[in-house]
Amino acid sequence: MIRIAIILGSTRPGRNGEAVANWVYDIAKQRDDAEYELVDIAEYRLPHLDEAVPPSLGQYAQPHTRAWAEKIASFDGFVFVTPEYNHSTSGALKNAIDFLYAEWNNKAAGFVSYGSVGGTRAVEHLRLVMGELQVADVRAQAALSLYSDFEDFSLFRPAPHQEAAVGAVLDQVVAWSGALAPLRTAPTADAAS
């Protein structure tokens, strides 16, 4: 069965992302098209990137990197729940992404974002990062506004139409994750020779 991680991309105390990620996970658990898991980057306590060797070589020295790599490698696709900070994603999420390389490759990603303009600018930056990591990002996106989907900018009360938006993201991530499966199981050039 396809495995999809819902990645909570904020570590800030009092983060709105926790409520958003739990809501996405609750929606996902009602489906039977994939196995979903909520992954909170805060639990991995990743420092600023502290690996001496580039991630593309896969030679991880730090125990926290190896644990993070094992977790991410176990999934076929991702739904990133991201805030928008200063027209981009959180530094914590970007740092977590940058720790790894091959573990992201040939998988699919979708986005649920939140911010004053729905977090759309954060997602635009993440789409560029996904391209470099050989992750196919889907078109559907749920963009939550701090003005209309939160009360007093902190109490999460999503508008009714947002559930359908999350459903569209999940539909596409599951479909694309399945479509990319042959690339994840193809023998590498080294193994073929």
Beta carbons of 166 and 112 less than 8 angstroms apart: yes
Catalogue all structural domains in the chain, each as residue range(s) with its CATH number: 3-192 (3.40.50.360)
Decide if pLDDT at 87 tops 60.
yes
What confidence category does residue 185 fall into, taking pLDDT thresholds of 50, 70 and 90?
A: confident
Which tokens belong to 74?
Answer: 């176990």
| Backbone CA torsion sign across 3, 165, 43, 59 | positive
Mean pLDDT of the region 51-77: 97
Work out the percent of the chain whose per-residue pLDDT is above 70. Answer: 97
Location of structure tokens 């990137």 = 49
Mean pLDDT of the region 134-150: 97
Containing 92, the helix (H) or strand (E) segment is helix 91-98
Alpha-carbon gap, residue 139 to 48, rounded angstroms: 30
What confidence category does residue 186 fall into, taking pLDDT thresholds of 50, 70 and 90?
A: confident
135: Cα separation from own chain's centroid: 11
Alpha-carbon gap, residue 71 to 75, rounded angstroms: 7
Decide if pLDDT at 192 tops 50.
no
Characterise 9 by phi-psi region: left (phi > 0), alpha (psi -120 to 50), beta (else).
alpha
123: Cα separation from own chain's centroid: 10
Decide if pLDDT at 1 tops 80.
yes
What confidence category does residue 190 fall into, taking pLDDT thresholds of 50, 70 and 90?
A: low
